[in-house]
Structure formats: C-alpha cells, structure tokens
Amino acid sequence: MNNIITSTTAMLLLVVGSYFIGTLLYRKLRSAWVHPVAVGMVLVIATLLLLDIDYETFRQGTAFLDFLLGPTVVALGYLLYEQMAHLRGRETAIFAATLVGGIVGIAGVWGMGLLFGLDETLIASLQPKSATMPIALPLSEQSGGLQSVTAIVVFFTGLTGSLVGPWVLDKCGITHPIARGLALGSASHGIGTSRAIELGALEGAVSGLAIGLTGVTLSLLIALIEWVIG
C-alpha cells in the first residue's frame, strides 16, 4: 500500500490535482491571495505531512515536472514571437532595464547581508532569488549556497511579485505594458509571468523575455562577484 501511495504516478497526481483545485478556487474568488501555486503548495505539504511521505520520495516522484520547467520557459518564446513588432527599436531599453534590475537585486541581497550579518553561504543562497528555478539552483550550488534555501526563496519571490507587483506598479504610475512585463518577469520569473499574461499578451511576452535575460544577467553578475572577491 505504501508503495502505491509514494509511486511516481501518485506524486504527479498529487501535484497536478492540487494545482487544479487551486485554479478552480482562484477562478471562483478572483483574488491574487489564492494564487493556484500557493494553494497547491499548501495542499501538497499538508498531504505529505498527513501521509508521512518524506521530501526525497516526493522529489523523485516529481522529477519529470522538474524537467518540464526548462521547456516551459522556452515555450514562452512563442508569445514573444507574436509581439515582436512592439519590441523592435526598444532593444537597448529592454537590456538596460534587465541589467539594472539584476544589479539592484543582488545589491539588495548583499546590503541585507551586511546589515544583518548574514554568512556567505546564506548570501550565496539568496543571490539568484530573481532567476527562474532551473537557473537559480545551479547558480546557488556553484556559489556555495544551499539549494533548499534557494528553492524556497525563489518560490516566495515569485509569489510575492505576482501578488503585489501589479499593485506596486499602479501606485508608481507605471502603465506601459512593456515596462510592466519587464518588471514582473525580471523580479518574479515564472510566477510573475503567469500574472503578466493575465494583464495582457504584450506584458506576458515581455515578461517571458525578461526571465531569460535576467537568468543570463544574474549568471554573469554572480560570476563577476566571485571573481572580484576571489
């Protein structure tokens, strides 16, 4: 019986079913605070605790979903292709915004490190928080960080950006769809991009572009930091 509960099929059904329930709840309430990812996470954790299933078993059973993260990000390129006419002539601004976003994100982590006396391992774990998970985890490992911490921080960074990002942009008077898409994608990667797609096709396309650009930017910046500090 235990083998059935912890099988790969059961783990996949748990994740997909939890997300499906979260989606139904989100569509009914139309509130960002019941985001499908957040609801799904709560349901998955509750089920694992109830059935006493350890994380390693869960991770092995959902390895296929981890693999799909990469192709999913690449698939966002189709949205970008459809919106190319709106992006031509704005390449410099887009690259500059992504670079500044990456610098500010890492500077914020180092600022917290100095302010609260965080050790190098924790700083290395937090640095790639704005990168999508398939990029953030290797960056964390190569820098000497803890992948488990990075995974949690990346998730909550994305969820927070999805929840409050549009509100912050509204309060700041940022209304241009390209600017809004860049902000959501570069700060809150995949989860933010799902929110950007809800705002509009152009926002979603640019947010998907920002995921890739932010990943490259953070990779270069983190490598530069490691070279500088030796």
pLDDT in tens, 78-94: 777 778 888 888 888 88
> Based on the domain organization, do 159 and 190 belong to the same domain?
yes
Considering only CA atoms, which of 131, 145, 133 is closest in space to residue 59? 133
Q: Which domain range does residue 80 map to?
A: 68-229
Number of folded domains that form the chain: 2
Domain boundary among 61, 90, 106: 61
Predicted model pTM: 0.80
Tokens of 45: 């954790």
| Residue-wise pLDDT tens digits, 171-200 | 999 999 999 999 999 989 888 888 888 888
> Based on the domain organization, do 74 and 47 belong to the same domain?
no
Tokens of 38: 């957040």
Chain mean pLDDT for the chain:
86
> Based on the domain organization, do 85 and 158 belong to the same domain?
yes
Distance CA 67, CA 46 (A): 24
> Based on the domain organization, do 53 and 139 belong to the same domain?
no
Count of alpha carbons within 13 angstroms of residue 118, beta-carbon side: 18
Distance CA 130, CA 41 (A): 19
Task: Return the pLDDT at 2.
Answer: 47
| Residue-wise pLDDT tens digits, 84-123 | 888 888 888 889 989 998 899 899 999 988 888 888 899 9
Distance CA 205, CA 186 (A): 12
> Based on the domain organization, do 147 and 44 belong to the same domain?
no
> Based on the domain organization, do 118 and 220 belong to the same domain?
yes
> Based on the domain organization, do 90 and 166 belong to the same domain?
yes
| Residue-wise pLDDT tens digits, 54-66 | 888 888 888 888 7
Task: Return the pLDDT at 4.
Answer: 47
Domain boundary among 37, 61, 85: 61
Secondary structure tally for the chain: helices H, strands E: 13, 0
